[in-house]
Chain A
Amino acid sequence: DAGVIQSPRHEVTEMGQEVTLRCKPISGHDYLFWYRQTMMRGLELLIYFNNNVPIDDSGMPEDRFSAKMPNASFSTLKIQPSEPRDSAVYFCASRRPGLGGTGELFFGEGSRLTVL
C-alpha cells in the first residue's frame, strides 16, 4: 500500500487567501484524523472522521477551518481566510477498523503551510 498521501507537501500563501489541504487515507482504514504540528504545541488534533462522518471537531480552532470527507478515500481541510498564525505542518492520519482506540496511527508526510 502507498500509505497515507497528502498534498501539497508545501504551500506558501498570503494572508486572507484560501488554503485547501488534501488527504487520501490507506484503503480499508475507517478512521481519519487531521492534526496540526507546531514547535510550541506539538501535535494537536483538529478533527477526526469515522466512516466518513465527523465525530469530534472540537479541536478546530475557529470557523475559518473546515474539513470534509466526501468518501472513504478522500478528505480535505480548508482554511478560509488564512492568517499567519495558521502557519504549521498539517498531518493526516488513518487507522484500521476493529481495534477501537488501540490501533496504530499511520501518518502522511504532512503539508507545511506558510502564511505570509
Chain B
Amino acid sequence: KNQVEQSPQSLIILEGKNCTLQCNYTVSPFSNLRWYKQDTGRGPVSLTIMTFSENTKSNGRYTATLDADTKQSSLHITASQLSDSASYICVVTSQTGANNLFFGTGTRLTVIP
C-alpha cells in the first residue's frame, strides 16, 4: 500500500535554532518527492522537489535530503525564523496510476521568540 508518514506531528523550537522534519514513504514505483510549506490560512506552496538521483537540495535555509534506498526524506531548517512557523507537507509521486500523488499529514512547526 502506498503511504507517506511524517514525524513529528508537531514541533516547537526557539527562534534561531535548527530542526529536522522526517518523511518516510512506501510509494512505488517512485517518481519524485516534494516538500510543501503551508502557512496558517493559506494553501500549500512547493519548497523543493527531489528526484530519484538527487540526495541533497537546498533552497535558502531549507535543505532537503532523499535516501531512495531506505525511502526516507528529511527537511532541515537552519537558523529558524518566526516566519518558518507553518505546516510542512511531504508529497510523493508515483510513476504509475491515475491518482499518483500521496500526501503525508504534515508536521506543524512553531517557532517561538
Contact = CB atoms under 8 A, between A and B. Distances in A.
Question: Does more than half of chain B's interface fall in helix, strand or loop, or is it mixed?
Answer: strand
Given A41-B105, A42-B105, A42-B106, A104 B46 contact: yes
B109 interface: no
Interface residues of A, number: 21
Interface of A: 4, 41-45, 48, 55-56, 58-59, 91, 93, 101-102, 104-105, 107-110
Contacts of B72: none
A101 B95 contact: yes
Contacts of A101: 31, 93-95, 100-101
B45 interface: yes
Interface of B: 31-32, 34, 36, 41-46, 49, 89, 91, 93-95, 98-101, 103-106
Given A4-B43, A48-B99, 13 more contacts: A42-B103, A42-B105, A42-B106, A43-B44, A44-B103, A45-B101, A56-B98, A101-B93, A101-B94, A101-B95, A102-B31, A105-B44, A110-B42
With a 10 A CB-CB cut-off, give which of A58, A93, A101 has the most chain B CB atoms. Answer: A101
Contact of B32 (A58, A91, A102, A107): A102
Nearest to A42: B105
18 contacts: A41-B105, A42-B89, A42-B103, A43-B103, A55-B98, A56-B99, A58-B99, A59-B99, A91-B43, A91-B44, A93-B43, A101-B93, A102-B93, A104-B49, A105-B44, A105-B91, A108-B43, A110-B42
A43 B4 CA distance: 12
Contacts of A109: 41-43
A45 to B, nearest CB: 6
Pairs A-B, 6 closest by C-beta atoms: A107-B43, A42-B105, A101-B100, A104-B46, A43-B103, A56-B98
Nearest to A101: B100
B86 to A, nearest CB: 13
Contacts of B89: 42-43
A110 B99 contact: no
B105 A105 contact: no
